[in-house]
Structure formats: structure tokens, C-alpha cells
Amino acid sequence: MALSLSSPYGCPSDEEEDMAVLESTAAEHGCLTRPRLPELSVISPGLDARSSVVAQKTVKKPGICDEGNMERVNVFLRIRPLTDTEREQGEEQGCVTVQDDATLLLKAPKESQNSKTAEKGVTQSIHKFSFSKIFGPETSQRQFYDATLKVMINDVLKGENRLLYTYGVTNSGKTYTIQGSGQEAGLLPRALVSLFRKLQGRLYSAMDLKPAMSQDVRQLDSSEVKMEEIRRNSLLKEDENLTSRRAGTTTIWDSGIGSTTQITTQLEDTDSVCLDPDSLSLSGGDSLEEGVQFSIWVSFFEIYNEFLYDLLDASPSLQSRKRITLRLSDDKQGNPYVKDLTWIQVRSAEEAWKILKAGRRNQSFASTHLNQNSSRSHSIFSIRVLHVHPDAVPGQALHISELTVCDLAGSERCKEQRIGERMKEATNINTSLMTLGRCITALRHNQNKSRPPQVVPFRDSKLTRVLQGFFCGRGTSCMVVNINPCASTYDETLQVLKFSAIATQLVHGPSTKSRVAYILSMLREQTANRNESTVIQEEEEESDVEDGDTTMLNTETLLQAINILKREVLRQRAEKEALEANVREQVVSEMMEVINNMQEGFKETLETEKGLIEELYENKIACLQKHLKKFYSQELEERDQEIEALSAALKEQKKEAEAQVSVSEPSGDSEGPRRSQRLGSIEVCRLQAELEQCRTELFAKTQELMKLKVKFEVPGGAGAVTGAADRKLQGCQKNLRQLRLDLQRLGEELQSGERACCRNTGGERLRHTLMAADDTLVKQNQILTELQNSLMLVKAELRRKAETQALSTGFTTPTTLGFCKKRGCTPAGDAENFPPQKRPFFQTLFPPRTPTTRYCTRAAASCTPYSRILRSRQQTPPHSPVLTPRGLRGKH
Ligand SMILES: Nc1ncnc2c1ncn2[C@@H]1O[C@H](COP(=O)(O)OP(=O)(O)OP(=O)(O)O)[C@@H](O)[C@H]1O
């Protein structure tokens, strides 16, 4: 078996450490492809964890500090015992082995995913982890408290900020560790009892000072103090009422997002904090600052589905089962804090315990397949200690310290949660835990100064934002990793341990204390350089380094420190600028190099492509030339053949012509053509004579025609009569046109009248107009009849005169008949009644009904719409109902 063991207390370099951490993780994701993997992955903090618990006194410049001298983050591992049921289910497969009090061995059980991947050679089946301290299943609550939180309570009373958080898979004992069960009080109740015992006789019980924002204190007026009293008492009373009932009932709360089941908790079993007296030794309690009093305030809130809920909010809105979400804000220094969070002043451990229980009842719990009473949220309980100097001027800045205990929700495989709400909770829990992991990884990365820093994604989840201050120098944090030795949760446990392995490599950020020490060290440096007598008293320096309190320095020293810091800022700025310029230069030169390389590459590619294209086109041209050559040679051949054929044909023709000449020459007979020429000229002469004769005849006939025309000139009297008749006819036509227009207008008026009659207006006026039009029509008809009569008389006169003329000359003109024929008239009767030039007008106005109609009578005129209207007027008596618009509408 190939083992790559490193000493659990060894001190490898950064790179070595990283390799150790990433070894199993990266291999698992298939990033590392090695022919043979060691069967054991070693994940070690690489530092004597036990020695790191001791606070380092040597202070280096922050930012460029040597990691070896910094205090490491404590990561404690607690393994819970297996229950009887779990044993019965065969969960005990020896997959968790404690090698010593800092080293743990994990061996993958057969069914686990890790074992399967290990079989394929992708990852290892045995993993080794190192922690600050490992607590086995037999560890009691007291032992655990003594080794972990006890020291932190002392630190808080000295004015430090401390965070303790539990991390682990669900059902691994996180809540048990923090809160306890039954008589087995957890870390929090122990811490509360310890705190109040230490503060005996030093409590500041007035409520006029209250914590605000992240690190501030607010002076309350009397009314506000009263309000605070009411709030506190109502919470304490609520607990008393509930305790007296001791129902163990189940309440359903509406969180505003989804319902969560609140089940009576383990804490319900305990009415008061029962602790064995030896567990609370007063070690360190006597080191409290002289004359200072302490005001203790507590808050309790949870992060559920990425929403913050106040667990101590006893407002009516909470009672109406609608929880109000809290917002996260930043103070002027950029420190995040929970806005409008309830802070309750407590004067005893008993009171604090009751408040915790009251808050616990509002917390989101649910039953999961692994844990009957599983926390579905991250709960954060904070104790703020106000260090009050009773002699200090009111409103003067006070010192505040804080202990935050965070019970994180357990990570769990989402696929195990099939119900929608549980699934959502599990996803949110896993996401926020993952963000915490990313933050720790980034913090770890940034501690290595040889690498470019990364952005720590604190803002990616509410949990990391709330805890940000503890990771950034506002205090120190401590992690408790809870695991259970169940084989079924091996894979999740392995992930938790890998995550915690990174946390074990974290060092605390420079604290406030170290910053003060840094300033003092600079002052010392300066005085040493000047080789002058120091203005800072040696004892003062020591005490300041110890306390980390700048308020202890005198004004002159502070001004000096300010000047030094200003110079330091300028120096660092110049340094950073130089560094930036250097980086920029390097970036530019590298970019130029890249660009040049790219240019070269492009040139090469271009050349290659050019060559290829040239070759291609040369081939194409050669091919084309070949084809053209072939084509034209074929063409030339064809032409040659054609020429040969033509010249052969020409030769043939020539031969034929020569043969014909030789055949015709021997006879010598030219009489035939000459004879035909002679016959043609005779025929032409004859035709010319005939033409001449025709012309003469034509001339004679024309003369004759002229004479006849003169003879047929109509005498003046008859022409005058005809002219008068024509004029009359023209007048008549004019009247008829007028009549037609009248009729048209009448038709329009009829239509408009019809519309008007529909509205019962102007009906009478229309009827009168119609009657007037009727009269006009009758008159016009009379004139027309008269005209026709006179026309007939004129025509009869004309005919008579023409006959007289014919008799006197003795000549009957055939053209008279031809004239009538030409007009399309019958020889007798028809043409005599109507002059030929007037007929088209009457035909247009009164088109004949049948081809046999002799005259264009009124009956014929009835074919037009106007004549039809006219006839209906004449036939219908005035005021006849036929004239009603309704009757006319049908016609139009
Ligand atoms: N060290 C221990 N000794 C005895 N019992 C323990 C120990 N640790 C845990 N348990 C028991 O294991 C069960 C699960 O513990 P707990 O509820 O604290 O788990 P959890 O990690 O908080 O779970 P979740 O994350 O789901 O809230 C409880 O019944 C608890 O009493």
C-alpha cells in the first residue's frame, strides 16, 4: 500500500498544504490524471494546532505578516455516538477512526460513492484529516465546553469579539452541541451561566444604554426604557406561560414563504439551566477591568431560505402568524448589521435562557428522513457586552464586545428531499454553506501573499454577510465540525471534512488589537531612528499592547501616530502606484508579445494560404488552357473539313457549267427569245391604247356630270323654305334637349323628394313641380307635332318642284335614287317624311322598339327611363298614389 503520510504537526509550505487539501478533491473531480493514486489522502492543517491555541504575542505589520506567527483558526471535530437504532441498522462499519486527539482516519464503506470511485482508481478510499482537537463520542458536554467556548467567554469579557459556529451534515449533533438536550446543557447555556457568574456584582442593570447597528451604543430616554422593559417582560412571561402549560404541542407558523413545522424542542425539557458546579470554574473572571460594569444584551435570529427572521420579535404581526423579514445594512465603516433586530437586556443566565427558549419556539424546524427535529435554518444567537464606565461622561463612547454562536443548518443531499418545501430549504442551506466554503477558500488563498488576491464572495449569501466581520479582523472565529459515524452518510461526511480541512489552514485576520500594536511599533521605530528620548512611557506601551486600546495614549502621542500613519499611507500609496505601474508595464509587454506572436502567426497563415491559392489557380488555368486548346483544335478541324467540302462542291459546279457551255455552243439558234420580245411589245401598245380611250371616256363623263350638277341646283325660294324648316327643327331639337335635361332634373328631384318624403318634408312642393313639368311636356309635344306637319309640307313642295324641273329638262336623274339608297332609305314613303340628315337624331332620342317601326313616335320614346316616367305622369291623374315616393322608388 503506497502511503503518503505527512506529520500531523509538521509545517509544510503553502504549496504543499494546498496540494494536500486539493489532492483528494481535485482527484475526485477527475482533474488530476495520475497512473497510480495513493490509497490515503492526507489533509492536514500543517501546524501544531495545539500550540496555535496559545495567543501569539509577537506582532508583525498587517498585510505582510508572516503566517507562521499568526494565530490559526481553531477547528474542533466532534463525533457523536451511534444510537441503538443506527447500530441495529448496521450503520457501524468502522468508517471513522480517531488516530489521536488531532488526527482522524476515514475509510470508505463499500456502499459509498467514494468507495466506488476509489475502485475505479479515481480517488482514494482512505482519508486522513487533522484538526485543532478531536472529541470522540464519549466526550461530555462539559468537556467540550471547557475546551472550546470557555476561553472565548474570557476573551469577550476582555473586550474581544468571538464567533463559534457548528458545521456538519444533518443529524450530526450540531444543535445538541450548542443547546444541549435535557440535563446535558450545551455550549450556550453553559456560556450564559459562566458569563453571569463572572459578572456577579459587576452588572449594569439600567436599560438606558442599548446596542445599535454593528458596534454602536444608543442612549435611551425614559419612555424608550419603559418600552424595553415591556418587551423584555412580555418575552419572559410568554416563556413562563408556556412552561406552565408544558404542552409539547405542535404549532404551524407562516413564515411568509412557506410553512415550517415547529416542534417542541429538546430545550423544553429544561426549565432552568442545570449545570454541575465544577464545570464553571471562575478562571479568568478575576481579570475583569477595574471599575467597569457590564450590560448584557442578547439577540436571536434565523436565516431561513435566504430571509432573515427575528426570533425575539413579539410584535402583534408575529402573533398574527405573518413573520416580518429583516434587512441587512452596513454602518458608516462598512460593517454589516441586521437592521431593526430585537435586543433584549438580560440580568441573569436564567433570563437569557428563557429568552433563548422563547426564540427557539419561533425557529424553523421540520422532520426530515434523517432527523425528526431538524433545523431548517441557520440560527444566530448573539450576546453583546457593553463595557460601561460609570464615571464616564454620558454619551461617551463605550467599549462593546460580542459573542456570537451560530448553529448552521445541516447540509444534506437534495435528492433525499422529495417534498417541494424541504427541497427548497435543502437547496438554500447547501448554497449558503457552499458560499461559506468559497469564502473560506478565498480567505485562505489571500493569505498567501505570493499569489494575486481573490475577491471573497461574502455578499453571495446572507450567512456569510452576517459573519463577514469575524473573518475580517473584527474578531476571531472558531469552527466546530460535527460528524456522525454512520456508514450511510459517509459521502456527505467526507465533503464536510474536506471543507473543514481548508478552514483549518486559515489564520485570523489582523485584529484591532494588532493594529494598535502596529501603530505603537511604528512609533517605537521612529523614536529609535531619531535616537531621542522617547515620549512614550515604556509601561504605557506594554499596557497598550496588551489592551489594544488607543484611548489610553496621550494626545501628543496620538498626533504623532497620526502623522506616522499619514506618512505610512503615502508610502504605501507610492509603493502601490509603483507596483501598479510595474504590473501595467508587464501586462503591456506581455500583451505586445502576444500581439506580435499573433501577427507572426497571421503572417505565416497568410503566406501559406497565399501559396495554396496560387497553386490552386495555376492548376485551374492549366486545366482551362488544356480544354481551350482541345476545343479550338476541334473547331479548326471541322472548318477545314467544311472548306474542303465547299471547294469540292465549287469544283463540281464549275465542271457542270463548262459542260453546259460545251453542249449549247454547237446549235447556234437565237430566234426563240427574239420572237417572244417582239410579241411582248405589241401587247403593251394595245394596252396603252385601251388606257387612253378609257381616260377620254372618263373625261367626257365627268364633263357630263358637272353639267348635270349645275342643272340640279335647287332654286332660291325652295331653299329658303327648307332653311326655315331646318331652323325650326333645330329649335325643336334644342327644346327637346331642354326637355331631356328637365326630365333628368325631375328624376333627381323625385329621388330627393322620395328621401324628403321619408322625412315627411317638402312632399307638396315636389308634387307641384311634377305637374309643372307635365305641362311643359304637353306643350313641347304640341310644338313637335306642328313642326312635323310643316316639315311634311315643305318636303311635298320640294318634291313637286323637282318633278316640274325634271319634266322641263326631260331628264330623270338616276343619282336621286342612288342618293336615297346610299342613306339606307326605302325608295318611296319612308325617306320623304324625314330628311336624311335629321334621322339619326330622332333615332338616338327615340330608338325604335322593332326594326319595322316606321316612325320614331312617342310610343317608341317610352323605351328610355325618362319617357317611361313621362308616360306614367300622363297616364296617372295628379295626386295619384302611384306618384308617392314609395311607388317611384321601385322604378328607380
Ligand atoms: N454527542 C452526543 N451525544 C448524544 N447524543 C447526541 C450527541 N450528538 C447528537 N446527539 C443526538 O443526535 C440527534 C441529532 O442531533 P441534532 O439534532 O443536534 O443534529 P443536528 O446536526 O443539529 O441536525 P440538523 O442539522 O438536522 O438540525 C439528537 O437526538 C441528539 O440528541
Average pLDDT of the segment spanning 760-782: 72
572 band by pLDDT with thresholds 50, 70 and 90 = confident
Nearest CA to ligand 1 atom 10: 173
Average pLDDT of the segment spanning 100-105: 89
Q: For ligand 1, say whether the CB of 265 is within 6 Å of any of its atoms.
A: no
3-state SS record for 77-125:
EEECCCCHHHHHCCCECCCEEEEECCEEEEECCCCCHHHHHHHCCCCCC
C-alpha span between 363 and 377 (Å, rounded): 8
C-alpha span between 491 and 182 (Å, rounded): 31
Residue 575 has pLDDT above 60, yes or no: yes
Detail the residues annotated as belonging to a binding site. 168-175
Average pLDDT of the segment spanning 7-16: 34
C-alpha span between 433 and 417 (Å, rounded): 17
Beta-carbon contacts of residue 266 (< 8 Å; ≥ 6 apart) = 175, 176, 179, 180, 181, 182, 373
Average pLDDT of the segment spanning 543-557: 55
**Could you read off the pLDDT of 42-51 as tens digits, one per residue?**
444 443 333 3
Q: For ligand 1, say whether the CB of 181 is within 6 Å of any of its atoms.
A: yes
Detail the residues annotated as belonging to a binding site for ATP. 168-175
C-alpha span between 236 and 254 (Å, rounded): 23
CB 550 within 8 A of CB 516: yes
Helix (H) or strand (E) holding 386: strand 378-388
Cell numbers given for 290: 477595574
365 band by pLDDT with thresholds 50, 70 and 90 = low
714: which DSSP letter?
Answer: P
Nearest CA to ligand 1 atom 26: 374
Handedness of CA 811, 816, 821, 825 (dihedral sign): negative
> Which of these, 727, 724, 856, 733, lies nearest to 797 by C-alpha position?
724
Average pLDDT of the segment spanning 322-339: 83
Spacing, Cα 59 to ligand 1 middle (Å): 40
814 band by pLDDT with thresholds 50, 70 and 90 = very low
Residue with the larger pLDDT of the pair 112 and 347 = 347
Neighbours of 154 (CB within 10 A): 19
Average pLDDT of the segment spanning 113-130: 81
Does the ipTM surpass 0.85?
yes
Whether pTM exceeds 0.95: no
Residue with the larger pLDDT of the pair 511 and 787 = 787
**Could you read off the pLDDT of 150-183 as tens digits, one per residue?**
999 989 998 889 999 999 888 889 989 998 887 7
C-alpha span between 136 and 102 (Å, rounded): 11
Domain extent listing, the chain: 1-76+83-133, 138-436, 511-606, 721-891
Average pLDDT of the segment spanning 20-47: 38
C-alpha span between 755 and 761 (Å, rounded): 9
CB 76 within 8 A of CB 481: yes
- Mean pLDDT is highest, among 158-162, 417-421, 810-814, for 158-162
Spacing, Cα 134 to ligand 1 middle (Å): 17
Q: Is 642 left (phi over 0), alpha (psi -120 to 50) or beta?
A: alpha
**Could you read off the pLDDT of 177-228 as tens digits, one per residue?**
998 887 788 999 999 999 998 888 888 888 888 898 888 888 888 899 999 8
Ligand 1 pocket test, pick from 139, 371, 377, 482 with the greatest ligand atom count within 8 Å of Cβ, gives 371
Residue 888 has pLDDT above 70, yes or no: no
Class of domain 138-436: alpha beta
* pLDDT of the residue at 736: 74
C-alpha span between 855 and 860 (Å, rounded): 8
Spacing, Cα 479 to ligand 1 middle (Å): 17
629 band by pLDDT with thresholds 50, 70 and 90 = very high
CB 216 within 8 A of CB 331: yes
* pLDDT of the residue at 553: 65
| Mean confidence (pLDDT) of the chain | 71
Spacing, Cα 774 to ligand 1 middle (Å): 120
**Could you read off the pLDDT of 659-716 as tens digits, one per residue?**
888 776 655 555 555 565 566 677 777 778 888 887 888 888 888 878 876 765 545 4
Nearest CA to ligand 1 atom 23: 171
Separation in Å, CA 78 to CA 129, 139, 179, 180, 637? 13, 8, 15, 14, 106
Q: How far apart are the first and last CA of the chain?
A: 118
